[in-house]
């Protein structure tokens, strides 16, 4: 049992799922769903379609170069079954997966670090651009705050008066 990759979007294609297109030169193209198959038939480039892994890698949104990708390569050489070897293989796969997840998390954090700064700059520019909308709100805010504080003081005084009468 082998989990293949979709030719168009690079998502996993499990046995019994998806579509296989075989070209005249006997090259096989596996697709996870009809959406990928349609886009392939329309001769769309996966690097230009925003929801594919190829797009995300070309735009720098996902890691493109890493040594952990070497372990995902397809190998066609049959290996004689050995219980100890299988146990070691599974342990190694888990270790590689944890390393890959940690690196992806670090990559994302580095990418978002610059994005936070950029977001602040854009917010400042937006505020400066439409400051005339905020100026009246700030002027009214002081008035509103005074009213709130005064009404709170009145309520507190009324409670004290009520508690003083009940005693």
- What confidence score (pLDDT) does residue 146 get? 81
| Residue 36 exposed, middle or buried by CB count within 10 Å (0-12, 13-18, 19+) | buried
| pLDDT tens per residue across span 127-142 | 878 777 766 666 677 7
User: Would you state the structure tokens that stand for residue 102, as one six-digit string?
Assistant: 């940690």
From residue 167, alpha-carbon distances to 56, 155, 162 in Å are 73, 19, 9
Residues 5 and 13: beta-carbon distance below 8 Å: yes
Residues of the chain with pLDDT under 70: 1, 69, 74, 134-139, 165-167
User: Would you state the structure tokens that stand for residue 65, as one six-digit string?
Assistant: 């170069």
Q: Which one, of 58, 61, 13, lies nearest residue 37 by Cα?
A: 13
- What confidence score (pLDDT) does residue 36 get? 96
CB atoms within 10 A of CB 37: 20
């Amino acid at each position: 049992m082998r989990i293949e990759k979709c030719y168009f979007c690079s998502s996993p294609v499990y046995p019994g799922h998806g579509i296989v297109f075989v070209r005249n030169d006997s090259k096989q193209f596996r697709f996870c769903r009809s959406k990928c198959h349609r886009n392939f038939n329309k001769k769309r480039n996966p690097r230009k379609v925003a929801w594919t892994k190829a797009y995300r890698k070309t735009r720098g949104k996902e890691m493109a170069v890493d040594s952990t990708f070497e372990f995902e390569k397809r190998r066609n050489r049959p290996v004689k079954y050995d219980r100890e070897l299988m146990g070691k293989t599974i342990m190694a796969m888990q270790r590689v997966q944890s390393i890959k997840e940690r690196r992806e998390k670090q990559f994302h954090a580095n990418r978002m670090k610059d994005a936070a700064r950029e977001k602040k700059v854009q917010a400042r520019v937006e505020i400066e651009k439409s400051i005339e909308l905020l100026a009246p709100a700030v002027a009214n805010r002081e008035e509103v705050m005074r009213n709130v504080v005064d009404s709170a003081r009145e309520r507190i005084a009324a409670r004290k008066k009520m508690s003083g009468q009940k005693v």
